[in-house]
């Protein structure tokens, strides 16, 4: 089956900038998404269109097709209590990534400076302004269920897992 609108797709990827590998899913679970539902980077989704299970390919995306250009002046002071994702580290340091919940959803930010109660955070996505290369292997393609389409995401083997 080919990947078309409303396909439920699972794929493994390795993400690089130049010769530097940034992240990879190959040691864990594949990434899953609904094709054509705006849940995937536009350039990556375009490259996946029409592919089938077992296909392997490489695509390089300019910033405009992935996380956008880096924008100067997107630094905002955020109360430290609103930063998530520390794990066992008890101290935020410049350069660390954090998750912030806002009215517009979850955002990944980068800590620029830490004060006693607030941290100055760069709101650009960590990959903004970067030309990224994805090595992709399509694991599976199937038609999405009506429930998945109404929820806007792929359900795992155990069903949905969140309440409505």
Q: What pTM, to 2 d.p., does this model score? A: 0.78
> Would you call 65 helix, strand, or coil by DSSP?
helix
- Answer whether residue 94 is part of any domain: yes
Q: Contact 137/55 with Cβ under 8 angstroms? A: yes
Q: What is the DSSP letter of 64?
A: G
- Answer whether residue 163 is part of any domain: no
Q: Contact 17/132 with Cβ under 8 angstroms? A: yes
Same structural domain, 21 and 43: yes
- Answer whether residue 11 is part of any domain: yes
Same structural domain, 58 and 99: no
Same structural domain, 142 and 117: no
**Structural element, H or E, at residue 114:** strand 105-114
Residues of the domain holding 117: 72-122
The structural domain count of the chain equals 2
Q: Which positions ≥6 away from 160 have C-beta within 8 Å?
A: 147, 151
Same structural domain, 43 and 93: no
C-alpha to C-alpha distance for 148 and 152, rounded to whole angstroms: 6
pLDDT tier, 164 (very low <50, low <70, confident <90, very high otherwise):
very low
- Answer whether residue 91 is part of any domain: yes
Same structural domain, 47 and 90: no
Closest CA to 135 of 34, 26, 51, 36: 26
Same structural domain, 39 and 92: no
Summarised one tens digit per residue, pLDDT across range 33-86 is: 999 988 889 899 999 999 999 999 999 999 999 999 999 999 999 999 999 887
Answer with the residue of higher pLDDT: 91 or 143.
143
């Amino acid at each position: 089956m080919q990947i078309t609108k409303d396909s439920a797709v699972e794929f493994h990827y390795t993400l690089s900038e130049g010769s530097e590998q940034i992240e990879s899913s190959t040691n864990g679970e594949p990434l899953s998404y609904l094709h054509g539902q705006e849940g995937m980077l536009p350039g990556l989704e375009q490259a996946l269109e029409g592919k089938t299970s077992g296909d392997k390919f490489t695509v390089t995306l300019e910033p405009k097709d992935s996380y956008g250009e880096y924008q100067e002046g997107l630094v905002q002071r955020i109360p430290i209590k609103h930063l998530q994702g520390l794990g066992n580290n008890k101290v935020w340091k410049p350069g660390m990534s954090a998750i912030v919940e806002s009215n517009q959803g979850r955002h990944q930010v980068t800590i620029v400076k830490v004060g006693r109660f607030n941290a100055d955070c760069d709101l650009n996505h960590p990959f903004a302004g970067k030309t990224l290369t994805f090595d992709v292997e399509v694991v599976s393609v199937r038609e999405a269920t009506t429930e998945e389409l109404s929820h806007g995401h792929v359900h795992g083997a155990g069903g949905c897992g969140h309440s409505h």
